[in-house]
Structure formats: C-alpha cells, structure tokens
Amino acid sequence: IVKEWMDTFIRQFHNVDISVAVQTDAGLITPIVKDADRKGLIDVSADVKALAAKARDGKLKPDEFIGGTFSISNLGMFGVKSFCAVVNPPQAAILAVGGSEIKVVPNGEDGYKTVTCMTATLSCDHRVVDGAVAAAWLKVFKECIEDPVNMLM
C-alpha cells in the first residue's frame, strides 16, 4: 500500500517512509521515519521521538518532512477511541490509531479474562489501493500488534 496516485499512473515504492503526525505550536506537521521497513521497533520508536522533538522545536529540515510513502496519525494519546484520518495526497493510505482500553472478553470454558484493545482504521485512496488489499494489510497489522515480540529486531 506504499503507492502514490500520479494522475496518469500509480507509483509503487520499494521503501517505506512513514509520515508521523505531530502537533506543534505552529500546527500539524508530519516528519518522516525513513526506511521504517528496514528498522526494528526500537529504532523506529527512537526515530519518532527524535523527529517529534525536532518538530516541536521547529528544527526539522525539509527532507525530514517532505515526502513519505505512508502516514500514521495517533489520537489515542488524547483519549480518542477511534477516528478516520484523511489520506495525504499523493500518498495512498493513512493509519488512524485510537486509544487503548481494557475489556472483559469470554475465555472459552474458563470464564472471562481482561484484554487491552485498540482501534486502528486504515483510510485508502481506492484508485490506488483495492479494499481487499487494504483488508489483507490490516490483517497482518493486527497479527503484528497482537504479537509485538515478532516486530523486535
């Protein structure tokens, strides 16, 4: 889903540069975690923290916020349970991450258990990303979130 609509063709990227929404005093900006697909979770987290700090200090360079092949917006930290984010053209998709909450769920014949749940919504430009492809991507994302140890490198 790391593609762009280019009016007369679709550009497919071979790298994943994640634009992460960061609120600053001057408004919203989306610094980019370059080559996120080649990094482990710890490195991506460190990059996000460093870029967010630079964004809030107004010290991002243009190559740190122009571009990106996919976006993520997290309003969960503000208590928002779920939302739909708007795709940032020419990108083809954005993931909206809501907050987590504790729920009680059935646990087979043993009764009930508590689990932590969150809502993530994928918005796509359907000229570029078919709904079935988006659903398959979300399935893999869900598997990764439910077993984060596999994301550590």
Give the residue numbers marked as catalytic.
126, 130
Q: Which helix (H) or strand (E) holds 131?
A: helix 131-146
Tell me if residue 112 falls in helix, strand or coil.
strand
Contact criterion met (CB below 8 Å) for 89 and 3: no
Query: Rounded distance, CA 57 to CA 132, Å?
Result: 40
> Exposure string (b/e) for 48-68, b if CB count within 10 Å is 16 or more?
beebbebbeeeebeeebbeeb
